[in-house]
Amino acid sequence: MLKFTEIDRANPSKRGVMERIKDFREVYEVYEEDQAIDQAERCMQCGDPYCHTKCPLHNIIPAWLKQVANKDLELAFNISNETSPFPEILGRICPQDVLCEGDCSLNETHGAISIGSIETHITESGFTKGLKPKFNTNSTKGKVAVVGSGPAGMSVAYFLLREGVEVHMFERANKAGGLLTYGIPGFKLEKQRVQRRIDFMIDAGMKLTLNCEVGKDISFESLENDYDSVFIGIGATKGKFAGINGEDGNNVHLAMDFLTAVQKRELDEEVENFIDVKAKKVVVVGGGDTAMDCVRTSVREGASSVKCLYRRDEANMPGSKKEVVNSKEEGVEFVFNVSPVSIEASGINLQKTTLSEADESGRQRVSIIDGSDYLEEADVIIMALGFDQELPQFIKDSGVELDKWGGVIINLDTKQTSKNKVYCGGDAVRGADLAVTAAADGKAAAKAIVASLNI
Amino acid sequence: MGCNLDKLTSFKDNCGFGLVAHLKNKPSHQNLEDAIESLSRMMHRGAVAADGKSGDGSGLLLSMPDEFMRKTANELGVDLPETYAVAMIFSTEDGEIDTFKKHCANNNLKVVLTREVPLDTNALGKQALEILPNIVQVFVIPQCLVSHERFDALLYLTRKECEHELKSNPDFYIPTFSSKVIAYKGLVMPTTIKQFYKDLNDEDFKITFSLFHQRFSTNTLPRWRLAQPFRGVAHNGEINSIDANRFNVNVKMETIDSDVFSDEELQRIFPILQDGGSDSASLDNMFEFLIANGMDFFKAARSLVPAPWQNSPHMDADLRAFYEYSSTCFEAWDGPAAVSLTDGKHIGCLIDRNGLRPSKYLITKDDRLFVTSEYGTVHVDDDNVLERGRLQSGEMIGLDLNYGKVLKEDDINNYLKSSQNYSKWLANDMEYLQEHVEATFADHSEYSFTDLEKKQRYFNISYEVLDQMIEPMAKDAKEPTGSMGDDTPLACFSTKHRNFTDFFRQKFAQVTNPPIDPYREKIVMSLNTGFGHIHNVLKEQDSFAKRIKATSPILMKEKMDVLVSYGDENHDRYDSYYKNKTFSTSFKTNLKVSLESLYQDVKNSIVNDKISIVLLDDRSLSSSEKLIPMPLAIGYINQHLKSDNVRQSVSIVAVTGEVYDPHSAAVLIAFGATAIYPYMMYSSVISHNERKNLSEKALIKKIKNTQISINGGLMKIMSKMGIATVASYRNSSLFDVIGLSDEIISDCFEKANSDLAGLCYEDIEKRIELSHFDAFVNDKTMFPLEMGGIYKYIDGGEYHDFGPAITKAINHTKDLKGLKTLIEGRDKKFIRDFFDFKSDKKEISIDNVESKNEIFKRFAAAAMSCGSISVEAHEAIAIAMNTIGGSSNSGEGGEDAARFGTLKNSKIKQVASGRFGVTPAYLRSADELQIKVAQGAKPGEGGQLPGSKVNAMIATLRHTTEGVTLISPPPHHDIYSIEDLAQLIFDLKQVNPKATVTVKLVSTIGVGTIAAGVAKAYADKIIISGADGGTGAAPLTSIKHTGNAWELGLAEAHNSLKANHLREMVHVQADGGLKTGIDVVKAAMLGAESYAFGTPLLTILGCKILRICHTNKCSVGVATQNEELREKFSGTVERLIEYFDFLAQDVREILASLGYSSLDEIIGRSDLLEVIDDEFAKKFDFQNVLRRIDGIDTCQVKSNDPYDKNEESHELLKKVMGTIDDPSKPITINAEIGNLNRSFGALTSGEIAARYGDAGLAPDTINFNLKGVAGQSFGAFLSKGVSIYLDGAGNDYVGKGMSGGKIIINPAQQGEEFSGAGNTCLYGATGGKLYVRANVGERFAVRNSGCITIVEGTGDNACEYMTGGIMVTLGRTGINFGAGMTGGLAFVYDKDREFIDNMNQELIEHVRIDTDDEETERIYLKKLLKDYIVETKSEKAQFIMDNFRAEIRNFWMVKPKNMTVLPLNPFEGE
């Protein structure tokens, strides 16, 4: 360990740009063993492991880094899969640069440990070598219904199954995985990774009912009656608009509609309202990870040009830095410091902005430069401005307490709602957030549910 | 137990001592005069109060002055028969003398005379006079015809009986009751003892010998009866193993069968140890008991204080046999000891195995023998000297008064080894486990468990324990190293699963006794362990050699099998003597009742089934069975077997999963375990390595390495307390127990210190239940173990005060208020968190509170060396502290002279055991000189800076060469006891009279006693450091388990100083985890006047608590010397100043809220604190922390000036001042010198350094020609340009810390048979030249880094830790030459071809220099010898020079093994 002075940080290799934009397969290779060991050896094994503290799942990152370096893959696999429900997925899609790697003690001085890539390596190599998640299939402590099969639902199911709790998962879509399957493009996460995890759980006894929408195909009441607990992890799927004129035009689309459609097509599912961008000028409004997903998808869909419009400057972009780099490599053009004013058939009207001094929260405010209006020509305009929760009627009817904005009130530690048996977590509570925080919610809920079952 | 009020007034004592005797047993008054003279000239080794009359006591143990006694009796009308005895009695109450007489009558002794001893009370100081007892002599004769031996036995019996009856009066005391000796002693100074005891003035008071002693007690509450010598012993030093020895004495008494006394009489004699006595008094009690029962004088002496034999291959085999035989019943009374003893027929003196106390002898041509702590205490003409020598480590010298023959070491050894056929006895009856074992660690059948992980969880073997402790031990065969400090709560406050052994805090030696270096002085260490009964110690017979032996108390399956097979009736090894039985330590419910019934089982089996090996086995742990914590079981059983008088036949073996680090092993042994079988540690190694495809051999090596690590760790823990053998450590109870209830302590750990009495059996049981539930019921699937969090932070694990959130906040925040809130929200983690303020005043305006600048003066940076941290960090701290008016601390490791006098100068300069960079200029650059006796993170231990880290900068600062490994010894080699510390303080006050001299101690129960002693040794300031202090590198269990929180130590020290009326003489500082204003104010209320900060400062400078300091890879450039990493340093002076500014403001706000206007008003005001109103807090007893006794709370003097004003040196300084001011006018001064003139030259050197730095003056600018025997520290810290010629001899510490100049000692009697200087010469010298035309004492040139020296013979451990300079000896060296020598060169003349055996071969190699390749070296040596002959006219050197071609072949050149460039520069030095 401690080899950070001798070995520089090296990210896993990426497929060549010209090759990768032709398909939806993952861009990053997985580390070879030697590479993973080298990179893990850089870790200082800090007395205060900031990476571990920052991680919403509190993954014991230094421990598995050390075990990778020690060539004890099995131990690394076990420790990694102890705290995380799907490390090989989160290793790929987490914005590590704002989480573990951002807090790595080496980040500022020597370059952070490439935690995410090593995390992916551990579990992928483990799977290759035949290692599997372990579930307790002997005891049945109780029965829990999980509504939604996204990261929160998968997480709660995983941790419940490990404790020997029977899980029944309900998903309204054709396939399980939620955002992981339909939201995140394949070049970041190939879909068989998600299915593999679902299959492990089905093997461990999880019942999965697809194409089943609670409140429509099955009543929530029956879940409450038939199960010891119910976990709701239905995500936040309602895309946000900018609130400007012309948004109702048919050249304007929401990011998730765009991404889901492409994803469904890739999965050979039937697609309604496919948004074709081929040979078109595409602009994407927003600067987060979803925006990156949209621009990169557009490139792959054969758009003639792709621009990303963002209100602030590059340094202030909320998404993962590596995705910005990847987008640029793939030919995306970034337009910073612009704010949308209105939309017309030929494109989007913008105003230039500037950043003023930081406010109390430390974030700089945006101010408009008067008279800087101009039209950005575009055929397709995609709004990637975040999501709101879209509480389905069955929750409103269920009697759980809601806050004044209509969100579900939960206990932050246990994810329990005002109804003892009902738990809720992930984006359904948080609004659009990260897969890893959804996973952490699922884990916390599972712990609380198990504790309640033990009584 | 929990209320430690008595600790405030308890004491430790050290001293000056010696004996004088006439070889032919001829009585004379002159012998008495010599004894008194000798004692008077060692007054500086005792404590002297300002009136010159009060001290801690002194005394004489004299051969019976027969002529005087007969005359006196005659004058009172009694004609004494041939056989008579005189009792000397101190009595304070009526009727006591009658009681004494009653017992005489009962024992057939006839009292013929009672005499008030004539006294002149004008000789006494006020305190002594107030408690002066009646001093009475009672003369007795036999009532009927008895033998002389029987008469002596009756005297002993009578005295013991009388003592027992009058036990309730602690001041009733019988100094002696003997037909052969009599003691005159008391609270009187050596200079006035003759005035006080008028008898001593009578010319007819003639004696043949005297033992004499002056006491230096750490307290100021001396008592008449504590004065030495005792009945047969005068002791200088401290018995570190005293608690174990006392325990064992009681155990030995279970089987006593005496030829002298009947069993009934023995019962009247018991107990043989007197209550309330010192360690020395207990030793005397035991020695006297053995002698009274007819044991041989020399055997008794050497059984109690044996030479190191276990690991001394050079020792004669038969002599080792004697020691090995004696070890079956005796364990060493271990620790620094120079002991003079007599049984009336012999006298002798011996020193401990490590040679830690000086003992020097002089034999004159007119038949007198002197043994004293120093040379020159009696004037003897040069031509009357027959021999001037000293005892080497473990040696004894004796005198048989009947034959008038001096018995040297060899004579005594010859007698001992040939007195019985010990070798044969051992051959017949002693068995070694190893002999019956084919291979160890090969049989793993007991190391696999189906529920291993559940068990590991129960035993708190987490991933972290595997990764940070067990696997490193398995890999490296030593305990892992960590860095920074311990920032977790005490086990008793913790809400997480903690080991039961976490309640125990290791004890360590500081000031009154030294720790040992278990690595470099391994020769004295031993883990030799025996199984079998303790026999009647009074008899010797072949069957008593019966023993099963193991070389370590840590067993594995193979040895366990052998041990158990001896008790197996079906095995051919079966021997009923070794019958054993296994007792499960598991229980289901009710811990306390289970413990009691376990004990009853054990006891019944011992009594009824005669088992002698008790196997306590916790392998019955299961989902339904919990465990009695092993320390609890062992402590309870050990203690109760003793009180039930059946301990002697039993060895207790723990088969336990609780032991997997050295600390846990040490706890079990210290409370009575003979051996430990740590099966779970071995299991854990195997399971952790199961996926590594190790070969069988590699796996065995790994398992074995854990045992080697525990062995090494045990030695380290023992050595911290200055204990060399595990036999003396066993039963020692050398732990502070924190947070357990008085009931548990009195049931199980009665001899251990205890504080914060709290958790009771029920609380412990609840904790066990929770652990058990989490281990066996709560399951984890993927990775079954807990992750840990004890050593490093883990989310959900143990609380860390420097956890990520707080550290990150300190690193970055501008919001210091937010940080304060974050820290203060931690809730009941540390002792201070349990207190709220409770003011007796109303809030005042902050405008009326003293300014920040006043508060800044009380802030100091804790010692951190430039080397352990980067120059950038070191200088930033210095600049910040100097800017605000606080003090920064150089740490141990020198400081760049370019910083002296600038804003970068550290006001505090540290003097630590390595003496790195301690030069006259360094010492003069300081406002405060801080003697680091102990360091919070690793008290009692040394350190090591590997050569790879010693870059050019560090090498320059530390006066050594780049790449040379630098070792800091565990002890200061000039502080083995309190009078030594007084000497070092005296030295420092000479070289820099303006500096405050500070002594840094670490908190532990009993630190108050030490603090009082330090104040009496004239320190100006005492620092009480918390055990949580940081470090660049220390063994992990030392960081976690040694020493106490500062709150405990500070409160104790403050109150102890008050109880001894010493608080007003010294300033008190605290450090350890202080972060906020609340911390500072609470420290003030507990008695601290100033406050030091360590880790927080580093954190402000960017430290992220990575805990990798020891790797030199600190990625933020704080704790590294790597240039590339240092570029990453981002700390600023401004942030440090902002922090202190905030802190001072915080303090001001708190003061205002409490209604006080300055810190001064609240110092020591523990009454302003109250325990928080909280259920959990109510469990604990905080009285020791919050205690406030009457008295002054703050220092009232500017400096604590020594009694010795060193007037001679001041006179000399006046004479040379002109030359110092104008060095172009050299001066030569001729003078006489005596042993009372100490630290000669230091004052002058300091003045030179103040003006010219270490460059000093031109050679031979100031010259002294002296005649006589110089006092200690002759030529200490000598500056360049000063030359001292001494016609005579020096004492200890000649040339200590000298940086230049020369010291030439030419005694009248030259050559290796005569001593020319004492122990520990040239300690930390950085330059100059020392020639001694005679031999020198132990540890010559220890840590020398630049002096060139030639002597004609040395004692043991020469050139230890040497890092530079050249040493030549023209005569024999002692053993363990060059241990830890990493630099410099030595030339050893070895005509007798015995040097190789004396070398410590670990780091050095020897080469011949008579070949072509070594021409440079040869010529260099020749040049040196030429110069030596010019300066000394040495006959030996001249002879060698005359026959150089032949004699050069007798020289070895000794150099560190990896040294390539030899430091041969003839122009170095002067």
What tens digit of pLDDT does each residue of B1254-1279 get? 999 999 999 999 999 999 999 999 99
Partners of residue B896 on adjacent β-strands = none
**Record: contact B794-A60, CB cut-off 8 A:** yes
The pLDDT value given to residue B1467: 42
**Record: contact A72-B1116, CB cut-off 8 A:** no
In the predicted model, is pLDDT for residue A65 greater than 60? yes
In which residue ranges of chain B is pLDDT below 70?
1, 50, 1460-1470
Shared domain for A274 and A333, answered yes or no, is yes
Any idea which residue has 């401690």 for tokens? A2
Nearest to B692 among A66, A72, A136 (CB): A72
State how many domains chain A has: 3
Shared domain for A288 and A351, answered yes or no, is yes
Judge whether B463 is closer than 8 Å to chain A, CB to CB: yes
Nearest to A44 among B692, B781, B1113 (CB): B1113
Which chain A residue shows the shortest CA-CA distance from B803?
A: A48
pTM flag (> 0.90): yes
Best residue in A48, A74, A123 to probe B by mutation, most B CBs within 10 Å? A48
Q: How far is the C-alpha of B184 from the C-alpha of B197, rounded, in Å?
A: 8
For residues A426, A432, A436, A439, the Cα torsion angle rounded to the nearest 10 degrees is 10
Identify the burial level of B1413 via C-beta atoms within 10 angstroms of its C-beta, where 0-12 means exposed, 13-18 middle and 19 or more buried.
Answer: exposed
**Record: contact A49-B804, CB cut-off 8 A:** yes
**B residues 303-362 closer than 8 Å to A (CB):** none
Shared domain for A325 and A406, answered yes or no, is no
Tell which of A128, A158, A177 closes a domain: A128
Residue A374, domain member (yes or no): yes
**Record: contact A48-B807, CB cut-off 8 A:** yes
Asked whether the beta carbons of B173 and B162 are under 8 A apart, the reply is: no
Shared domain for A317 and A400, answered yes or no, is no
**Record: contact B792-A5, CB cut-off 8 A:** no
Chain A environment of B463 (Cβ under 8 Å): 60, 63, 79
What tens digit of pLDDT does each residue of A11-26 get? 999 999 999 999 999 9
Asked whether the beta carbons of B1249 and B920 are under 8 A apart, the reply is: yes
Shared domain for A147 and A221, answered yes or no, is yes
Give A415 to chain B, closest Cα distance, Å.
18
**Record: contact A49-B802, CB cut-off 8 A:** no
Residue A21, domain member (yes or no): yes
What tens digit of pLDDT does each residue of B1346-1388 get? 999 999 999 999 999 999 999 999 999 999 999 999 999 999 9
Provide the 3-class DSSP secondary structure of residue B921: helix
Residue A22, domain member (yes or no): yes
| A97-106, A265-274, B962-971: range with highest mean pLDDT | A97-106
Catalytic residue chosen out of the listed positions B15, B349, B1114, B1195: B15
Give A418 to chain B, closest Cα distance, Å.
26
pLDDT band at A360; cut points 50, 70, 90:
low
Residue A339, domain member (yes or no): yes
Partners of residue A347 on adjacent β-strands = A344, A377
Shared domain for A381 and A393, answered yes or no, is no
Chain B environment of A58 (Cβ under 8 Å): 795-796
Judge whether A375 is closer than 8 Å to chain B, CB to CB: no
Tell how far CA A327 is from the center of its chain.
18
The pLDDT value given to residue B218: 85
* Chain A to chain B Cβ contacts (< 8 Å): 101
**Record: contact B792-A48, CB cut-off 8 A:** yes
Chain B environment of A161 (Cβ under 8 Å): none
Judge whether B1113 is closer than 8 Å to chain A, CB to CB: yes
Chain A environment of B800 (Cβ under 8 Å): 48
Tell which of A79, A102, A128 closes a domain: A128
Q: What is the CA radius of gyration of chain B?
A: 32
- Report H helices in B41-171: 66-75, 96-106, 126-130, 148-165
Give B483 to chain A, closest Cα distance, Å.
9
**Record: contact A75-B800, CB cut-off 8 A:** no
Q: How far is the C-alpha of B968 from the C-alpha of B1339, rounded, in Å?
A: 14
Nearest to A357 by CA among A349, A348, A367: A367
Shared domain for A243 and A367, answered yes or no, is yes
Helix (H) or strand (E) holding B1465: none
Instruction: Give the Å distances, CA to CA, from A400 to A82, A225, A446, A451, B1314.
Output: 32, 15, 19, 21, 97
**CATH number of the domain within which A371 lies:** 3.50.50.60
Nearest to B1115 among A44, A72, A162 (CB): A44
Asked whether the beta carbons of B545 and B430 are under 8 A apart, the reply is: yes
Chain A environment of B1106 (Cβ under 8 Å): 44, 46-48, 105
Shared domain for A219 and A288, answered yes or no, is no
Nearest to B1157 by CA among B846, B839, B842: B846
Judge whether B467 is closer than 8 Å to chain A, CB to CB: yes
Judge whether B818 is closer than 8 Å to chain A, CB to CB: no
Judge whether B812 is closer than 8 Å to chain A, CB to CB: no
Over residues A78-107, mean pLDDT: 96
Provide the 3-class DSSP secondary structure of residue A344: strand
Q: Which residues of B612-646 are buried (b: 16+ CB within 10 A; e: fewer)?
A: bbbbbbbbebeeeebbbbbbbbbbbbbbbbbeeeb
Tell which of A370, A387, A404 closes a domain: A387
Shared domain for A379 and A413, answered yes or no, is no
**Record: contact B782-A134, CB cut-off 8 A:** yes
Partners of residue B209 on adjacent β-strands = B21
**Record: contact A105-B1115, CB cut-off 8 A:** yes
**Record: contact B805-A58, CB cut-off 8 A:** no
B866 is catalytic: no
Residue A4, domain member (yes or no): no
DSSP string, A21-89: TTS-S-SBPPPPHHHHHHHHHT----SS-HHHHHSTT---HHHHHHHHHTT-HHHHHHHHHHH-S-HHH
Q: How far is the C-alpha of B375 from the C-alpha of B389, rounded, in Å?
A: 9
Residue A133, domain member (yes or no): no
pLDDT band at A455; cut points 50, 70, 90:
low
Nearest to A78 among B782, B795, B1116 (CB): B782
Give A56 to chain B, closest Cα distance, Å.
11
Contacts of B701 by beta carbon, 8 Å cutoff, 6+ apart: none
Shared domain for A428 and A357, answered yes or no, is no
Residue A55, domain member (yes or no): yes
pLDDT band at A300; cut points 50, 70, 90:
very high
Chain B environment of A133 (Cβ under 8 Å): 782
Shared domain for A225 and A254, answered yes or no, is no
Which chain B residue shows the shortest CA-CA distance from A62?
A: B794
**CATH number of the domain within which A69 lies:** 1.10.1060.10
The pLDDT value given to residue B1466: 42
**A residues 127-186 closer than 8 Å to B (CB):** 133-136, 162-163
Two structure tokens written together for A264: 């469904």
Residue A136, domain member (yes or no): no
The parent domain of residue A175 ranges over 143-236+389-452
Judge whether B581 is closer than 8 Å to chain A, CB to CB: no
Percent of chain A topping pLDDT 90 = 82
Which chain B residue shows the shortest CA-CA distance from A135?
A: B781
Shared domain for A395 and A375, answered yes or no, is no
What tens digit of pLDDT does each residue of A234-245 get? 988 788 888 899
Partners of residue A214 on adjacent β-strands = A218
